[in-house]
């Protein structure tokens, strides 16, 4: 990974309000390099150019940082560790569970925990619909999971009573908001700007309503 890529990450993170940290940036670059290597065999992501990976993986994930709450965070359908791994590198005081049902993806996540390394991350291979954890989560986050209604239905049982669901979206999902099931309300719905990305991004925070 090049010095230019390191600078792109540092500049983008600064625009998101993240102070410079050489060790953290180095860890992000190790993660991207590991993802690039594994992707040659396991096809974990369609984004393969280093600059695009920095923007669409690291900076896009980092844009959700301010929407996290509590210590225990679940990345639902984590795939190659997005947004969970970049967020775990930014939020070392929180613990992140990265859950996916696909074995090769979870194998990659386990390797990332070792090589990056990531002391506040636990990979889990399971289906969200049937998985149960001893403790509930303060935040459940997803990127490109499905509709908001599907997100609430599949992940609601994993959320602590006062917890929040954080959905990373492209365009503002007005029809999905209108179709939310009873018991859920929109606590926040905000556009976010991802440095270097010319595309709409919105983050929707769901909480249980009075009948939830």
Domain locations in the chain as residue ranges: 3-208
Q: How large is the average pLDDT for residues 38-65?
A: 92
Total-model pTM: 0.95
The tens digit of pLDDT for each residue in 58-72 reads: 999 999 999 999 999
The tens digit of pLDDT for each residue in 17-32 reads: 998 899 999 999 999 9
Report residue 212's pLDDT band, with 50, 70 and 90 as the boundaries.
very low
Predicted local confidence at residue 209, as pLDDT: 83
Q: How large is the average pLDDT for residues 101-108?
A: 96
Q: How large is the average pLDDT for residues 92-112?
A: 97
Task: Decide if pLDDT at 144 tops 90.
Answer: no
Task: Decide if pLDDT at 1 tops 80.
Answer: no
Between 145 and 77, the more confident residue is 77
Average pLDDT for the chain:
94
Three state DSSP letters for the chain: CCHHHHHHHHHHHHHCCCCCCHHHHHHHHHHHHHHHHHHHHHCCCCCCCHHHHHHHHHHHHHCCHHHCCCCEEEEECCCCCCCHHHHHHHCCCCEEEEEECCHHHHHHHHHHHHHCCCCCEEEEECCCCCCCCCCCEEEEEEECCCCHHHHHHHHHHHEEEEEEEEEEECCCCHHHHHCCCCCEEEEEEEECCCCCCCCCCEEEEEEECCCC
Predicted local confidence at residue 210, as pLDDT: 63
Tell me the CATH architecture of domain 3-208: 3-Layer(aba) Sandwich (3.40)
Predicted local confidence at residue 47, as pLDDT: 87
Q: How large is the average pLDDT for residues 115-119?
A: 97
């Amino acid at each position: 990974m090049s010095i230019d890529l390191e600078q792109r990450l540092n500049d983008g993170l600064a625009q998101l309000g993240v102070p410079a940290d050489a060790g953290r940036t180095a860890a992000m670059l190790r993660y991207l390099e590991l993802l690039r290597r594994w992707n040659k065999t396991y096809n974990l992501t369609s984004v393969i150019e280093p600059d695009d990976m920095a923007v669409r993986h690291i900076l896009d994930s980092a844009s959700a940082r301010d929407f996290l709450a509590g210590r225990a965070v679940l990345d639902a359908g984590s795939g190659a560790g997005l947004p969970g791994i970049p967020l775990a590198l930014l939020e070392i005081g929180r613990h992140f569970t990265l859950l996916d049902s696909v074995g090769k993806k979870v194998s990659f996540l386990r390797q990332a925990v070792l090589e990056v390394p990531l002391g506040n991350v636990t990979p889990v291979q399971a289906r969200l619909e049937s998985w149960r954890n001893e403790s509930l989560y303060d935040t459940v986050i997803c990127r490109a999971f499905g509709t908001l209604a599907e997100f609430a239905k599949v992940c609601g049982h994993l959320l602590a009573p006062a917890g929040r669901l954080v959905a990373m979206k492209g365009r503002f999902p007005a029809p999905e908001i209108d179709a939310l099931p009873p018991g859920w309300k929109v606590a926040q719905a905000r556009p976010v700007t991802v440095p270097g990305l010319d595309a709409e991004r919105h983050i929707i925070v769901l909480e249980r309503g009075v009948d939830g």
